[in-house]
Amino acid sequence: MLLPKLKICFLFVSVLVLLAACSQQQLINKIVPEQDQQFAKQVFEQLQQGDYATLEAHLDSELQTADIHSTFTQMTAQFPKVPIQQVNIIGAHKLELPNQTQYHLTFEYEYPQQQWLLNDLIFKKKNDQITIMGLHVTPIDAATRHLNDFTFAGKGILNYVFFTLAIIIPIFVIYVLILCIRTPMEKRKWLWLIFISLGFTRILFNWTNGQFVFQPFSFQLLGAGFEQTNTYSPLILQIALPIGAIIFLYRRRALAVSQPKKQDI
């Protein structure tokens, strides 16, 4: 009976680690279906080619103003007159509403001679109909593109402290999870596993400017993580107090069920 329980517990830990380690691109692919990503790319192709009639057919009524054609023309002028080298989706947000789904996608268009465009599209899907709610085209230079890069150059002591904690806390939590798995307990071990795996009272640290925010009524898987809206946004480190892990370490001996000693005959 012990072996199956251990397998279940180790599977639980593995799932937690995998969830914490999901790449940004994998998350984007899960959030936004491929056909919706292709629709967004087609919108910018139509904009670049000056196919405004097709765009206006999908445009929200609030955006269909008298000067919309002029606005489209200004956006088209932002596209370099050279072939695109690469297109990457670098940000995705999804909002599920009772009768519709809204998306906000951010693309990076790369051109020769260090030219980039940051293109944003906001649209909604309702009854298989797509409506464009927002459209933006922004030229980006090399300095802006690398403004929020993850680097230790020029960083202060707080960056090193938060980076160290973001590594140590998950290691500590996983260590205590393994201890919990190996500790014989009468009941509710699964509750302890959940309690240990979560950190409480998050602190969000902006890697670029060193500012931080407290979120007292919140939790964080494995006690640490990070988020970044897109490549151009600052990296936000997230750490939380591993209260469950600390309490379990303190109470481990009291919770452990004593094992009967084997007697030699």
**Each residue's pLDDT tens digit in the chain (265 positions)?**
444 444 444 444 444 444 444 556 667 777 788 888 899 999 999 999 999 999 999 999 888 888 888 999 999 999 998 998 988 888 888 888 888 899 999 898 989 888 889 899 999 998 888 999 999 998 987 766 677 788 888 888 999 999 999 999 999 999 999 999 988 887 788 899 999 999 999 999 999 888 889 999 999 999 999 987 767 778 899 999 999 999 999 988 887 765 555 555 4
The 10 Å Cβ neighbour count of residue 177 is: 24
Task: Let me know: does 210 contact 156? Beta carbons within 8 Å.
Answer: yes
Separation of CA 74 from chain center: 32
Check residue 194 and give its pLDDT: 93
DSSP letters spanning 57-126 = HHB-GGG--TTHHHHHHHHHHTS-SS---EEEEEEEEEEEETTEEEEEEEEEEEETTTEEEEEEEEEEEE
Check residue 143 and give its pLDDT: 63
Q: Which residue has the tokens 């009976």?
A: 1
Check residue 255 and give its pLDDT: 79
Helix (H) or strand (E) holding 49, with range, is helix 34-49
| Token reading at 238 | 């997230």
Check residue 21 and give its pLDDT: 43
Backbone φ, ψ for residue 151 (5° rounding): -150, 155
Q: With respect to CATH, is domain 32-76+84-145 assigned 3.20.20.150?
A: no
Residue type, 188: R
Check residue 59 and give its pLDDT: 92
Query: Considering only CA atoms, which of 45, 71, 56, 58 is closest in space to residue 124?
Result: 58
Check residue 25 and give its pLDDT: 64
Which residues, in sequence order, are bridge partners of residue 140?
Answer: 116
The CATH 3.10.450.50 domain(s) of the chain lie at 32-76+84-145
Cα separation, 149 vs 144, whole angstroms:
10
* pTM tops 0.75: no
